[in-house]
Chains A and B, each alone.
Chain A
Amino acid sequence: KQEVTQIPAALSVPEGENLVLNCSFTDSAIYNLQWFRQDPGKGLTSLLLIQSSQREQTSGRLNASLDKSSGRSTLYIAASQPGDSATYLCAVEYNNRKLIWGLGTSLAVNP
């Protein structure tokens, strides 16, 4: 069964800390992996998309890595800010065109 798991479910850190969010998937036959951000009561915003042939993608203070062999992706946020507070979702598209979503990590960055 194709599953996506995000750990931890919730995280609270002080401002300025570097942090890592984890996403694991059960089937290595993936096409791509995406990280999204969702603010409370709102839609999702795409942050980074990593194709299966890539190892990482960077955008500003965000860096996402992909290790297909171990079934893991990490989202690294450098120098966290209160504005980074949101829920971060991982979505894996498999080669069979199924898109499987994780439940997300709720991040609170405290001033």
Chain B
Amino acid sequence: DVKVTQSSRYLVKRTGEKVFLECVQDMDHENMFWYRQDPGLGLRLIYFSYDVKMKEKGDIPEGYSVSREKKERFSLILESASTNQTSMYLCASSLWGLAVRETQYFGPGTRLLVL
């Protein structure tokens, strides 16, 4: 079974803090994704990566950056957290190819509260 793990289930941070969300997958997947999910807005893609050290902006990259130094790990960084970044953050991975093309496997999510 594919396993995608996220470093925290719940996180509380203060405005202006630098926040790191970590995601690890154990199936040698090429693609990894970061989404945020908000009521009434659904899932929105922040960034994705199709290879080590490669990254592509999604639909809402502002205020975020990412890092992929190893194939299995994809980090989402909030450079200076703001209250409007309070959300559920979901990491996903998929097998190969550019962008999507294959089914995505999701982690359990990190619910981030920025005060």
Contact = CB atoms under 8 A, between A and B. Distances in A.
Contacts of A99: 45, 99-100
B111 A41 contact: yes
Interface residues of B, number: 21
A51 B115 CA distance: 43
Contacts of B104: 34, 44, 46
A101 B44 CA distance: 8
Interface string A20-56: 0000000000011010100001111110010000000
A32 B104 CA distance: 12
A93 interface: yes
For the residues of A in contact with B, the DSSP-based class is strand
- Range of interface residues on A (Cβ < 8 Å): 20 to 34
Nearest to A34: B103
Given A31-B101, A44-B106, A102 B111 contact: no
A43 B106 contact: yes
A51 B17 CA distance: 43
Contact of A43 (B40, B44, B45, B90): B90
B4 interface: yes
B108 A43 contact: yes
A101 B42 contact: yes
Nearest to A39: B108
A91 B42 CA distance: 11
Contacts of A101: 42-44
Contacts of A45: 106
Contacts of A44: 90, 92, 104, 106
A83 to B, nearest CB: 18
